[in-house]
Structure 1
């Protein structure tokens, strides 16, 4: 199980990511929004696999009518993730939000 503190740690370890409030919740931005706490224990991230994730594991991945117009956004229950899954989700979201990984040695 991961926590909001784990989300913060992983997000801020990515190059250029900053934290600020969005809709009165902690949020992390690359060029655009990459992740935001939606509710207690629920994180919003960007993904290319929303339908597949929610289809195979709806207890972990879901969305609300509010997210219908944004097909890259998915809600994730943090209590159902491990550190590796969290890192993978946040790295994809970072790239979709316009983040760029630094070249090795820079």
Structure 2
């Protein structure tokens, strides 16, 4: 099970990432947003694989109508992933945010 603190440690380990509030929740930014806590235990990240992730593990990966207009954003239930998977997701999100 990954936690918000895991997100914080991984994100702040990337070059040029800082933490600040976004919509009242912790968020991590490089050139653009890398990750943001959506609600308790749910993280927003960027990915090029949103459809595939949600299609294979919809209990873990999903999005709301709010995210429909942003096809790179996916919501992740942290309780359903481990630190290794979290690191991979955040690495991709960081690469997208800094491209």
Q: Which runs of 4+ in 1 moved over 3 A?
A: none
Q: Under a length normalisation based on structure 1, what TM-score does the superposition of the two structures give?
A: 0.92
- Mapped to 2, the partners of 1:44 and 1:66 lie a distance apart of 12
Question: 1:53 aligned to 2:50?
Answer: no
Q: Which residue in 2 is equivalent to 1:75?
A: 75
Unpaired stretches in structure 2, ≥5 consecutive residues: none
Q: What is the total number of aligned residue pairs between the two structures?
A: 99
Unpaired stretches in structure 1, ≥5 consecutive residues: 100-106
Q: Under a length normalisation based on structure 2, what TM-score does the superposition of the two structures give?
A: 0.98
Q: Which residue in 1 is equivalent to 2:14?
A: 14
Q: Which residue in 2 is equivalent to 1:94?
A: 94
- Mapped to 2, the partners of 1:16 and 1:81 lie a distance apart of 25
- TM-superposed CA distance for 1:30, in Å, is 1.0
Question: 1:44 aligned to 2:14?
Answer: no
Q: Which residue in 1 is equivalent to 2:85?
A: 85
- TM-superposed CA distance for 1:3, in Å, is 0.6
For the aligned residue pairs, the C-alpha RMSD in angstroms reads: 0.7
Of structures 1 and 2, the larger Rg is shown by: 1
- TM-superposed CA distance for 1:36, in Å, is 0.1
